[in-house]
Amino acid sequence: MKNLMIAFVLCVLGVPVWGQDTLPLTFTEAVSIGLEQNLEYKTRKNQQEVLSMSRINARLRHLPSVNINSNFNRQVGQQFQQVEGQLIVTNQINDIISSGLNARIPIFYGFQRLNETKAAGFLEEAGENALARAKEEVSFTIAQQYLQVLLDEQLYAIAMENLENQKNQLEQIEGFVEVGLRTLSDQYNQQSEVARLETVALNAKIQWETDLWALAETLQLEPNSLPLPAPVVLDQNHSEWLEMGIQEIYDLAIQHRRDLKEQELLAQGNQRLLAAAKGSLYPQLSAFFNYNTFFTSLDERTISDQLLMVYPQRIFGFSLSIPVFNNFNNKTAITRARVEMMNQKLEKTAMERKIFQEVKLALENFKAAIQTKTSTELQLKAAQEAQKAISERFSLGVSNFVDLAQANEQLVTAQADHIQAAYTLFFQKIIMNYAIGLLAEDLQL
């Protein structure tokens, strides 16, 4: 009966009522759309490109740096020429072409380049873990809203089913009044109940539509488009976490939480950056090679002869730089790097404590959700039997209207509590996977 009612509701509340385009989608499709549209995830993805390029740059800095320069200029006015020991000054135009090639290779920079390369690798890997955790966060948010929409759909179906049952009950009472088996007060009370349930059904419909719009906003759908989530299978085995202790689950979370791995890698990267900053206190040795040549219009020889044969000049050697006093620039950089490393270690410790709290709370809520689901199953069975018995007694004229109204209300409450408990248990498993860091691997709706 409930499935037929849901189908009826979808037909009634489709395009003709809401006036919106519906987009049927599964949870996997919803996550895919969300990852494409989520601003924070896209920003992190763009930042990861910078981290990857920074790692490549740090590696290539071990190789020689080569630059080619060329200048073209004209001098108008006095020109100085040295001819046979004399300095001759003339007033004319001199066209000059100068070119050069400069190469420099680091030999020893206090292990700065080596530590910066390792730090760049740690930072890139940390960014990959941050991106993976951001993906889990997007999936978690969409899962929460996706399941809420499905729950709203079920609650609306329960409200509509109850409304239809009470309308039928009203027709039955009207028949009893006509033959004198019931009083008009029972009829009026039932009419009042039907009017109240119409309001309840309307509120349930509004809540369903509101959560649909929230999901559409998260997925960044078109302004005139609403998602139509596919149903999920709620009857699944939820006992795997009950066989594990809190410490065992916490250890599992330490192994799989990508945000904790991110903090660990950031701490290692900052430690390498501190070592690189300390390298600035050591002498720096590099080798260099310079090749320079030029052409002048005051020389009658050809351009190729001047550039390639007459004026080429080669300079090569070593360059040694010893830091003596740099206005505390180096020490300031070292202090800044040390503070960054210490702060990162503090964040890592705080993350470990936070993970333990999240795992413990998720496990306790998971156990409570299992008990709640079991209790609501018993509550629903008892409410169904009670409503059935009182309805039969009411038809026979033995029970009064108040007893029937209370039985109907208890049945609807039990139905709503049961479906809410089922969805809550299902979502608590998602929360467990999210707290442990297994959401991306185990999330299947």
pLDDT digits (tens, 9 = 90+) for 324-338: 888 888 899 999 999
Q: Which residues pair with 66 in a beta bridge?
A: 103
Q: Which residues pair with 87 in a beta bridge?
A: 82
What is the pLDDT at residue 80? 67
Cβ pair 278, 334 in contact under 8 A = yes
Share of the chain above pLDDT 70, in %: 91
Q: To which residue do tokens 């494409």 refer? A: 36
Question: Which of 341-356 are b and which e, b meaning 16 or more Cβ less than 10 Å from the residue's Cβ?
Answer: beebbeebeebbeebb
* Residues β-bridged to residue 94: 75
Specify the pLDDT at position 16.
Answer: 36
Contacts of 195 (CB under 8 A, 6+ apart): none
On whether the 2-37+109-282+326-442 domain is CATH 3.40.50.970, my answer is no
Q: What is the pLDDT of residue 81?
A: 64
Give the three-state DSSP class for 80: strand
User: Which residue do the tokens 């200048």 mark?
Assistant: 71
- The C-alpha atoms of residue 111 and residue 280 are separated, in whole angstroms, by 9
Distance CA 214, CA 135 (A): 19
Q: What are the residue ranges spanned by the domains of the chain?
A: 2-37+109-282+326-442
Q: CA triplet 305, 311, 313: central angle to 5 degrees?
A: 130
The whole-number pLDDT of residue 336 equals: 94
Contact predicate 418/380, CB 8 Å: yes
In the DSSP assignment, the letter for residue 231 is: P
Report residue 411 CA to chain centroid gap: 41
Express each pLDDT in 407-425 by its tens digit: 888 999 999 999 999 999 9
Q: What is the pTM of this model?
A: 0.79
What values do phi and psi take at 332, rounded to 5?
-65, -45
* pLDDT averaged over every residue in the chain: 87
Higher pLDDT, 223 or 269: 269
